Amino acid sequence: MRASAVVGLVVVMVAVIAAFVLPYRGSAVASPRTVTLVALAASLWIGFSANRDAASRLEKIRRGFAVHGDEGRLLRDHWLVYVVVLLRLEMMAVSGLVVALWGSGPNFGVWLLILGGLMIALTWPTIRKTQLLLGRARALREDV
């Protein structure tokens, strides 16, 4: 899981560099302010709803573990949920790059990129988080 998080952070760093290196393209469809506002709204919605989505998916995984009892499967399913969360947070980076290239420019877009990177860093997998997942799943299994 940590390798997945590192890849996510590297993608954000590459996007930050791309935001400043690639030329500003402008938008023929909408004004830069409109592009920025739409990308900002989409980014914030996707990023901040990732936790709620992950919580419901993890609850399903824990209930499934209560039935099958396979810890390897529980951890594999947890990793898949983690990858989905990382992909959602990477969409924040994509939104930041959109703002940098077609919206208000890199000086504003980089803040969305940084926010996405910080949210990925906050999801950093730790032993404590894994033990907490296993403990809660085992408790559900004991209740059955």
Give the model confidence (pLDDT) of 94-116 as tens digits.
Answer: 899 999 999 999 999 999 999 98
Quote the CA–CA distance of 36 and 111 in Å, as a whole number. 12
Q: How confident is the model at residue 118 (pLDDT cuts 50, 70, 90)?
A: very high
Q: How many domains does the chain have?
A: 1
Mean pLDDT of the chain: 89
State yes or no: pLDDT of 55 exceeds 90: no
Six token digits for residue 5: 């998080």
Q: Using CB atoms within 10 A of its CB, is residue 55 exposed (0-12), middle (13-18) or buried (19+)?
A: exposed
* Contact assessment for residue 118 and residue 42, using Cβ atoms and an 8 Å cutoff: no
Domain of residue 92 covers 2-143
Q: What is the dihedral of CA 121, 127, 129, 132, to 10 degrees?
A: 180
Quote the CA–CA distance of 90 and 83 in Å, as a whole number. 10
DSSP 104: S
Q: pLDDT tens-digit profile of 58-99?
A: 888 888 888 888 888 989 999 999 999 999 999 988 899 999
Mean of pLDDT values over 10-31 = 90
